[in-house]
Amino acid sequence: MADQIQIDEQRLPTLQDIYGSYRLYLNHEHSLINQRLGWNFTIQGFLFTSYTFALNKVADVRVALSQGAMLGVNELKAALHELHVLLFVIAVVGICASASIHVSVWGARLSMNELRRRWSILKCNEGKSLEEVSFSHGFPAIMGGGDPHATKLGFHAPALLSIAVMIAWLLLIVDGLRH
């Protein structure tokens, strides 16, 4: 019949080809997570340094106010206010950067979980999943070396570190608002 699809058996991917494609995609997602965490820590290092520098300037202005500096008191108070605004802005930028990186890492994790799910539902010989067959063919599991707990534990650092940085910035904002 003219409407039947002709399948070229020689062009069908092998188990090794499929496994390699999935692993390549997973490696790509791991690389994205690594890049995003690198961006986050670079940005956070710059922001914490800027925050510390501005905080040092706050201390300088307070010392000048307490010693009755040459500049007028109003100018020093205005400078102190501007420095407090700067500290607040730096902290908000830090929270936003960390939150956006956290969300993008979460997106990569969802992508990886979907790949793992798709891999596990692929069926071959006698109803076994490809993951079950992969062990008999010498392939490791698609993620976590076969241990589902290892896969989950591997994502704790990227998630928790971003949250910890956000909490640090929030604490600095709260402390700044108290003064």
Express each pLDDT in 133-178 by its tens digit: 555 566 677 777 666 677 778 788 888 999 999 999 999 999 988 8
- Give the Å distances, CA to CA, from 51 to 14, 25, 93, 144, 177: 55, 39, 11, 39, 15
Burial of 59 (0-12, 13-18, 19+ CB in 10 A): exposed
Does the pLDDT of residue 1 top 60, yes or no?
no
pLDDT of 3 reads 63
Report the half-sphere exposure of 157 (CA within 13 A, side-chain side).
10
Helices 156-178 and 73-121, packing angle to 10 deg = 160
Q: How high is the pLDDT of residue 24?
A: 93
Inform me whether the pLDDT recorded for 50 exceeds 90: yes
- What residue segments make up the domains of the chain, in order of their start? 48-178
Region 78-100 average pLDDT: 94
Q: What is the pLDDT of residue 123?
A: 52
The SS3 assignment for 140 reads coil
Tokens of 10: 């020689």
| Confidence check: pLDDT of 126 > 50 | no
The answer on pLDDT for 132 being more than 70 is no
Cα–Cα distances (Å) from 160 to 3, 49, 150, 151, in that order, read: 55, 22, 16, 15
Tell me the average pLDDT of the chain. Answer: 83
Residue 4 pLDDT exceeds 70: no
pLDDT at 20: 87
Task: With cut-offs at 50, 70 and 90, classify the pLDDT of residue 6.
Answer: low
Least confident span in 56-70, 106-120, 154-168: 56-70
Question: Which among 88, 92, 95, 96 is positioned nearest to 167, based on CA atoms?
Answer: 95
Work out the percent of the chain whose per-residue pLDDT is above 70.
79
